[in-house]
Chain A
Amino acid sequence: MNYSKQVNILDYHSSFDQDTRISYKGPIDEKILQAIGTYIEGVLNKNQKASKKVFKIFIELAQNISYYSAEKNTMKNNKEIGVGMVIISEAEDTYNFMTGNLVKNDDIVSIIEKSEIINSLDREELREYKREQRKLPHSQKGGANIGLIQVALTSSHPLDIEVIPVDDDLSFFSIAVKIDK
């Protein structure tokens, strides 16, 4: 089997720099949550404060992917799990976190709108926005609709959002966030 027809592995490899600590693409199931979660707790534990923030951000973004990604894998137990990418890298002063996944074009406007609101607010306003949104009932998936707000609060930096159109139905949605060391 010639895998190179499916994946240009050199391109994939070259797209990461030497600061990359983790790169993953696939279904974000509980085993992956645990594996990456344990990595974060372990390797980053020299800096407990940052490690806790990286972990919190990872959980919220990973859960967003597993719930809302437009790309699903059916696992052995017949559960459908969202597929996406997780990349963690380390720079001199920050840990950098990036996730990406396909989303339906129908959902893009509301995601961008929410992200822009988040980035336009200062910390106190963000907390108020979180309290407002948290009062709404649980979403169908059991989420609280405040994952992205919490990510911005935890990171204390704006969300770096990018949307790349893929076709008539789907776009690729990525979020990059920084966590100060």
Chain B
Amino acid sequence: MENLEIEGSHKNFFIPSVSFNAKTGICELSGESFLEDTVEFYKPLINWVEDYIELVHGPLALIIRLTYFNTSTSRSILDILNILKDYEESGGEVVINWHFDENDIDMEEDIDDYIIDTGLDINKIPF
């Protein structure tokens, strides 16, 4: 299975950096996410995670270091987290580390909302 790599950018729209590794199961999503077509951008990420679960069936660590995302993105993040929750419930090993600026109270609230929403153990790591 191939890795998924997308280089982020901060231009008219903000593309997050994506680095999903099929060998290690470490999936990093960082930078800022504000896209012209959110659903289109996140579709390959969601497909990759689903393929990894089906084909590799190994441990998966999602590392999020987003400093900004819009509400449209927040819906796509929920889609990914829901897939991970299903994987965990079916016996998969899932770790989620969410790094956030300790001064960004709104971001911390967002993470808490995802924890309530999904029932996942998301490790909140302030920086």
Interface residues, chain A, with chain B CB atoms under 8 Å away: 30-31, 33-34, 49, 52-53, 55-56, 59-60, 63, 127, 130-131, 134-135, 138, 142-144, 146-147, 149-150, 153-154
Contacts and interface: CB of A to CB of B under 8 A. Distances in A.
A-B pairs with the 4 shortest C-beta distances?
A: A144-B75, A30-B12, A34-B12, A144-B71
A30 B78 contact: no
B37 to A, nearest CB: 6
Given A52-B104, A138-B39, A131 B116 contact: yes
Contacts of A135: 78, 117
A55 B104 CA distance: 14
26 contacts: A30-B12, A30-B13, A30-B36, A31-B12, A33-B13, A34-B11, A34-B12, A49-B103, A52-B68, A56-B68, A60-B70, A130-B113, A131-B113, A134-B74, A134-B75, A134-B78, A134-B117, A135-B78, A138-B75, A142-B37, A143-B71, A144-B75, A146-B75, A149-B71, A150-B71, A154-B106
Contacts of A127: 109, 113
Q: Is the interface of A mostly helix, strand, loop or mixed?
A: helix
A149 B109 CA distance: 14
Given A144-B71, A154-B106, A59 B34 contact: yes
B3 interface: no
Interface residues of chain B: helix, strand, loop or mixed (majority) = helix
A127 B103 CA distance: 19
Interface residues of B, number: 23
Interface of B: 11-13, 34, 36-40, 68, 70-72, 74-75, 78, 103-104, 106, 109, 113, 116-117
B114 to A, nearest CB: 9
Nearest to B105: A49
A146 B13 contact: no
Contact of A131 (B36, B38, B72, B117): B117
A34 B9 CA distance: 13
B69 to A, nearest CB: 9
Given A131-B113, A134-B78, A153-B106, 18 more contacts: A30-B12, A30-B13, A33-B12, A33-B13, A56-B106, A59-B34, A59-B70, A127-B109, A127-B113, A130-B113, A142-B37, A142-B39, A143-B71, A146-B71, A146-B74, A146-B75, A149-B71, A154-B106
A106 to B, nearest CB: 24
B13 to A, nearest CB: 7
B2 to A, nearest CB: 26
B72 A142 contact: yes
A30 B70 CA distance: 15
Nearest to B40: A142
A56 B39 CA distance: 19
